Amino acid sequence: MKPVFSTLLFACGLGLTLPALAGTWLIRDARVFDGEQMHAKRSVLVTDDKIVDADFHGAAPAGARIVDGAGRTLLPGLIDAHVHAYRHLELPLMFGVTTQIDMFTGVDTMRMMSGKMRANDNRGQADMYSAGTLATAPGGHGTEYGMAIPTLSRPEEAQAFVDARIAEGSYFIKIVMEGGSPAHPMKTLDLPTVKAVIAAAHARGKLAVVHISNLADARAALEAGADGLAHLFNGPALGNEELAAFVQLARQKHAFIIPTLSVLESIAGLREEDVLGDAGLAGLLTKEQIAPLKVTYGVQPKPALMAAPQQVVAALGKAGVPLLAGTDAGNTGTQYGASLLHEVGSLVQAGLTPQQALAAATSAPARAFKLADRGRVAKGYKANLLLVQGDAGSDVGALHRIVEVWKDGDAAGALRKAQQDKVAQELAPRTQPPVALPDGGRISQFTADKLASPVGMGWVPSTDQFAGGKSTVELKVQEPGTVLVNAKVVPGFAYPWAGLAFMPGAQIMQPADLRGARMLRFRVKGDGRRYNVAVLSSGITIPVNQGFEASGEWKEVALPFDGFKGIDFSAVTMIAFNAGPVVGDYQFQIADVRLVNE
């Protein structure tokens, strides 16, 4: 779907780490789902980062920490088989997700995470096995994020492309078959090239996973030898014959399927109401983290679009085709960790039994991606574990009632408590009054000497250079009250930009309470291109945007605050007028910027 990448934003998620405590734990008398079957009552002994006895009997070892498992279910740490991990890397662990299979992220992020895992320095985050850079056509899906990536277009390029990805550290190869829709066509790899990339991956002992979004491409990818499919597809129910043929093909090819119902629901305009409505889960998500769950790709709910994926999931499950729970987290309508709990529930709603759905989030992805040390509660396996209240074998909603999470044998309870406290503090009522706005609300005082404002520290150039980008901007006052913005947006950052920013606080990025207004108004003219107003508030590292056009004649633009979904206007840190992310030269003039109640 749509990942975005930012080394800067990635770094913002590394504040929480687990001390290396480990030691010996005895989880006593729990119902245990071992990854494949449920056991009514077992005790599990953990020493350091390994399970040493999955069916322990006798007295607890001296010094062991005892956890009461009565009335609870112990499971392997969950595995999300489809994410785009570029930020909030601490978040999956809060929800019991101890491993993520990443389908496309920045090479630096992949290498850094792989290095931390090799050094056993990743106890406070989910482990990550990544495809790194996906295989796509020039201008195809995956190239639209403002960051240059290698592409290929001919079968003869396949082996060199795969070898380069392996040299970068890719654990498997992700291939894109995505032609878009009639309304929004996209360039894509042709079938001979897809076949060649799959063969090249297999020649190096690597899995080949293919992104598809329709039945025809799904069949073509399986016929070409794909080990697995990333996604099913939205639409009406399939006919009996084509459904049976597809299921038979998947079985014959011994392929696994990652349905990603969570993101398909978002495309269908459906929100994860079970997560949003659960105070315990929502209490682990900051305003920034919960914001993506409040919006969907589909503008209007169209539940009928889920008929095909739900039907296919039920048929695949009945036929024994391996199904892997994956969310496509990193996309609109999803969130790391939390969405996997939703995904398991969606698999059950589609027709899987609770134990099939639990296996899809534990042993099945471990087996499919050849992760020999996880996904099971068994002797010698990693002590990545999840303890929940209730019987998860009959009600997967028990996954919402987390008692404890262990990562590499260390309990994550302290990290979860710190996250809860952070969210509670963020939601605490603010006592300071809103900033006093000037009469008429004008916040722009552009003169030849200074880009000033009666509110905050005023106006500054805004470019992606602070995040390692290379875009530039020149600001010049044309006449009192009007500033000319000449922006050069160039590759070098995931979402390159350049423009002009208003800082409402006394210092750069200091929050200010702008609840005294309800709308942003300004006058603009320019080169006819599209621009964005980007707003940030405390705790948010990716701005929320509303677009506008700068035509050849002066016009007034009015943008209501409620169009900036997820922004806390009691703690605004920046309002920017930006060109990008499409590279190129931009020019516009802006004047008479106001914060008003109208």
Q: Write out pLDDT tens, residues 177-194.
A: 999 888 888 999 999 999
Q: Residue 314: what pLDDT?
A: 98
Cα–Cα distance between 326 and 365 in angstroms, integer?
9
**CATH number of the domain bearing residue 580:** 2.60.120.430
Kindly state the tokens that stand for 41: 């009552």
- Both 444 and 381 in a single domain? no
| Same domain, yes or no: 342 and 464 | no
pLDDT of residue 51: 98
Task: Give the domain CATH number at 354.
Answer: 3.20.20
- What is the domain extent for residue 543? 439-596
| pLDDT reported for residue 432 | 73
- Could you tell me if 416 and 461 lie in one domain? no
Q: Which amino acid is at 151?
A: T
Structure tokens belonging to residue 474: 């020149």
- What's the predicted TM-score (pTM) here? 0.82
Q: What is d(CA 591, CA 524) in angstroms, rounded to the nearest whole number?
A: 6
Q: State the pLDDT at residue 596.
A: 95
What gap in Å lies between CA 143 and CA 436, rounded to an integer?
44
**Which residues of the chain register pLDDT less than 50?**
2-20
Q: Are 146 and 493 in contact (CB under 8 A)?
A: yes
- DSSP letter string, 201-243: HHHTT--EEEE--SHHHHHHHHHTT-SEEE----SSPPPHHHH
DSSP 429-447: PP-SPPP-PPGGGB--EE-
Of 302, 184, 177, residue with least CA distance to 235: 302
Q: How many CA atoms lie within 13 A of 102 on its CB side?
A: 32
* Domain contains 164: no
What does the block give as tokens for 89? 């890397």
56 domain residue, yes or no = yes
Q: Which of 390, 422, 454 is the last residue of a domain?
A: 422
User: 478 and 534 in one domain?
Assistant: yes
pLDDT at residue number 315: 98
Q: Are residues 566 and 509 in the same domain?
A: yes
* pLDDT one-digit tens code per residue, 392-424: 999 999 999 999 999 999 999 999 999 999 999
Whether 330 contacts 256, CB under 8 Å = no
Residue ending a domain, among 422, 456, 479, is: 422
Residue 310's nearest CA partner among 233, 220, 215, 202 is 233
Angle 499-139-129 (CA atoms, 0-180°, nearest 5)? 90
Q: Which amino acid is at 127?
A: D
Q: Which of 357, 388, 422 is the last residue of a domain?
A: 422
**Do residues 418 and 446 share a domain?**
no
Closest CA to 99 of 130, 78, 121: 78
Q: Where are the beta strands (DSSP E) in 336-394?
A: 385-389
Q: For the chain, give the mean pLDDT.
A: 93
Instruction: Specify if 146 maps to a domain.
Output: no
User: 418 and 480: one domain?
Assistant: no
Residue 331 DSSP class: B
